[in-house]
Amino acid sequence: MRHLFASALALSLMAVAAPAAALSQPDGTVIPQGNALRNFLRAQSYGGQPESIDPLTDAATTPERFKPGCTLTFTVIGRGAGQNNSFGWYNVTGSKPKKSELYEFLTCSDGVGTVRQLDIASDPRWAGGEIGFFQATTEGAAGNCVAFPLSDTGSNPTLGYVFYSEKAYNDDNTSPNPFIHLLIMDSKVFPSAFYFGWEDLFAGGDNDFEDLLTRVEGITCTGGGAACAVSGAHGRCAEGVTQCRNGALVCEPQFPAQPEACNGFDDDCDGETDEGDDLCPSDKVCYQGRCQPPCGDGEFACAPGLTCNQAGLCVDPACDGVTCDDGKVCVRGVCKGACDDVTCPHGLTCFNGNCVDRCQGVTCDAGYQCHDGVCQQCSCGANTDLCTGGQVCQPTTQQCVEPACSGVSCEAGKHCEAGSCVSNCRGAVCPVGQRCEEATGTCETDPNAPDGGAGTGGVGFPDGGILGGSAGTSGSAGTGAAGSGGRAGSGGAGAGFGQNGDVTEGKGCGCALPGQASSAGAGLAALALGGLLLARRRRYGAGSGL
């Protein structure tokens, strides 16, 4: 989401991806070496719970660049080096920073237990974009403490090497697989906290990564709002969105399980689609996402326009043998999804044929508010605006908006654009059988729809009628009425599909034989065919529409 910003130091999505195996240096050395880093970490605890990080499996080298936000708290946890190193930050510009552009934050004399707060967003030296971190060492230099500020033109006799979070800038970067000098580990007990473990020796040295070890609290992450698959989930329950939780990105489900229906979806999230014996009325069978009637006996096994397939069901001949992916059904030979051709009102998203609010059921961390299913924050106190692209933060909603909309409050069903409140319905194309209500800015049942109007709880498919008319989008009963205009002629019987995919009864018969118009000259033929259909309706049960 373009307006998602961090409440502290924002980490990229890669920051929370656990490595599949232990990391190693270009020479094959597995890192970190020894137990020193692990012991430093295990000595930490929060709320009585000891830190349980295993650096061999929990460490990562990403992200390399960071977006500053609100105040961070750095605590020095360990200094296992023989030299007193410094730590600081620099502006990311796309090229290696100059020495004078390295800004010290933890000095060489800040020992274990030192706690410092960093508020780069309020620092005039911050250029407004991403930042990187560095470690300055004294290896091979005079003395045991680097003197800042550093000079670009003169000598820096107390400086040995500078190692960057962007490892491509390190002096020992001699291959496509550069030496690693920074490990990042997500705390398992401290909320919104990470550990930064530095190695201070050129080309890895002893590779113990506890030469300067700090815990950074207040970290959260960017990357929220991306579509994701919920691990181990099936069907609608697998549809997720990334959210930042306690400093780490997690994939949270968007839609809960529902009772299974005949619609081509795995509604109950058990890994199977359209399973069960009670999905359709007793006189129909769930087949390829729709409740289809069985074929009858005699010359007219199926109603006009339908054919009896190998499964013994009456289906659209154009769909006979067509197999669609989950979530789609065959309509006149084409696999269509319930959200095809749907443009939801502002702030809503189409899912399973309905325009839904993705923030329903989403609980955000303190200071965040949900927008389009994503927990966002654009301010962390007075005079702190984390918006970019010329936008400004609305502290009350934690949303970045164009300046003209700053302070503009719109009534229900509207949102601000260019300083004016406009309808959420502008440009909206609701699912079949629904219309956008200006008062609420949502898609609701359209009582005047050609298909007779259907409930918003169901699933509609454009052009879904077998005999004519639009598809129904029925509610829980799945009894959406058919379109009034049938294929055979105006006023003819139509068929729609409700939530259970039922073929539903049209508004009367008035059918005409193929090639004939619904006229007085065809009255006898129409009457005879109407009697046949009525007899079949009695056989298969009212509501079959056949």
Residue 221 and residue 78 in contact, taking contact as beta carbons nearer than 8 Å: no
Residue 194 lies in a domain: yes
Q: Of 18 and 109, which is predicted with more confidence?
A: 109
CA distance 310 to 287: 12
Model pTM greater than 0.75? no
Angle at the Cα of 293 from the Cα atoms of 289 and 295, rounded to 5 degrees: 125
Average of per-residue pLDDT across 498-514: 33
Question: Is residue 189 predicted with pLDDT exceeding 70?
Answer: yes
Residues 370-393, mean pLDDT to the nearest whole number? 77
In a domain, 269, yes or no: no
Please state the domain count of the chain.
Answer: 1
pLDDT in the model for residue 455: 35
pLDDT digits (tens, 9 = 90+) for 18-55: 444 689 999 999 999 999 999 999 999 999 999 999 99
For residue 1, give the DSSP letter: -
In a domain, 197, yes or no: yes
186 membership: H or E segment, kind and range: strand 182-186
Q: Which two tokens stand for residue 464?
A: 């879904």
pLDDT band at 323 (very low <50, low <70, confident <90, very high): confident
**Model confidence at 289, in pLDDT bands (50, 70, 90)?**
confident
The answer to whether residues 351 and 339 touch, using CB atoms and an 8 Å cutoff, is yes
Instruction: Give the per-residue SS3 of 426-452.
Output: CCCECCCCEEEECCCCEEEECCCCCCC
At residue 272, does pLDDT exceed 50?
A: yes
Residues 251 and 399: beta-carbon distance below 8 Å: no
Q: Is residue 462 part of a domain?
A: no
| Residue 490 binned pLDDT confidence (cut-offs 50, 70, 90) | very low
Res 117: pLDDT: 92
In a 3-state reduction of DSSP, which class is residue 11? Answer: strand
Answer with the residue of higher pLDDT: 17 or 309: 309
Q: Is 120 inside any structural domain?
A: yes
Q: Which two tokens stand for residue 32?
A: 């970190």
Structure tokens at 99: 């020495």
**pLDDT of the residue at 147:** 95
Does position 326 have pLDDT exceeding 50, yes or no?
yes
pLDDT at residue 149 in the model? 96
pLDDT value at 501 more than 50: no
The domain of 112 spans 10-220
Query: Cα-flanking dihedrals φ and ψ of residue 120, to 5°?
Result: -65, -30
Structure token digits, residue 28: 């094959």
Q: How far apart are CA 262 and CA 284, in angstroms?
A: 11
- Give the mean pLDDT of 435-440: 94
Compute the distance between CA of residue 186 and CA of residue 182 in angstroms, rounded to an integer.
Answer: 13
Q: To the nearest whole number, what is the mean pLDDT of the chain?
A: 77
Look at 377 and 18; give whichever has higher pLDDT: 377
CA–CA distance, 357 with 346 (Å, rounded to integer) = 10
Average pLDDT over residues 2-21: 41
Query: Taking 80 as the threshold, does the pLDDT of residue 198 lie above it?
Result: yes
pLDDT for 122 equals 80
pLDDT bin (cut points 50, 70, 90) of residue 94 is very high
Mean pLDDT of 467-489: 32
Residue 170 or residue 254, greater confidence: 170
CA–CA distance, 546 with 525 (Å, rounded to integer): 17
Number of residues that this document lists for the chain: 546
Lowest mean pLDDT among 162-171, 266-275, 329-338: 329-338
Q: What is the mean pLDDT of residues 232-239?
A: 87
**In 206-341, which residue ranges form alpha helices assigned H by DSSP?**
none
Count of CB atoms situated within 10 Å of the CB of 227: 11
The identity of residue 504, as a single letter, is T
Q: Is residue 499 part of a domain?
A: no
> Which amino acid is present at 497?
F
- Listed in sequence order, the DSSP H helices in 61-181 are none
Strands 307-308 and 314-315: antiparallel
Average pLDDT over residues 389-412: 88
pLDDT at 188 over 50: yes
Q: Is residue 372 part of a domain?
A: no
Asked whether residue 223 carries a pLDDT value surpassing 70, the answer given is no
Instruction: Return the exposure string of 139-166: e unless at least 16 CB atoms fall within 10 Å of the residue's CB, then b.
Output: eebeeebbbbebeeeeebebbbbbbbbb
Q: DSSP letter at 243?
A: E
pLDDT band with cut points at 50, 70 and 90 for residue 366: low
Tokens representing residue 396 in the block: 């009350």
- Averaged pLDDT, 459-465: 44
Question: Model confidence at 250, in pLDDT bands (50, 70, 90)?
Answer: confident
Q: Average pLDDT of 102-122?
A: 93
**Assigned domain for 141 exists:** yes
pLDDT digits (tens, 9 = 90+) for 415-430: 999 999 999 999 999 9
Predicted confidence band at 9 (pLDDT cuts at 50, 70, 90)? low
Residue 260 has pLDDT above 50, yes or no: yes
> Does the structure show a pLDDT above 60 at 138?
yes
β-pair type (434-437, 420-423)? unpaired
In this structure, of 56-60, 138-142, 180-184, 491-495, the range with the lowest mean pLDDT score is 491-495
